[in-house]
Amino acid sequence: MVRISDSRRQESPVAEMQYSRREIVTLMRRTGYTELADEAERVLPDPIDSDQLEAFAQSHGVTRDDIISEMGGSP
């Protein structure tokens, strides 16, 4: 995968994570974000990559740490 940073191309040793829309919707429902899950089911692509997922969640005021907290973990 190639990431563009500072107008230069650099190889990234990290592969972009992809998730199924169903996985994400199930997780959102389980953690109490039912309205967000409903919208995710309608608008997210399948599969969805981590950057797209983060942008979607942030546009709704939800962070990765919020989800982790709702799952009983600590960020």
Bond into 13 cis (ω within 30): no
φ, ψ for residue 39, nearest 5 deg: -70, -40
Query: pLDDT per residue over 10-67, tens digit each?
Result: 566 677 889 999 999 999 999 999 999 999 999 999 999 999 999 999 999 999 899 8
Number of neighbouring beta carbons within 10 Å of residue 45:
10
Distance between CA atoms of residues 30 and 34, nearest Å: 8
**pTM of the entire structure?**
0.74
Which pLDDT score, from 0 to 100, does residue 2 have?
45
Taken in order 5, 6, 8, 13, the sign of the CA dihedral is negative
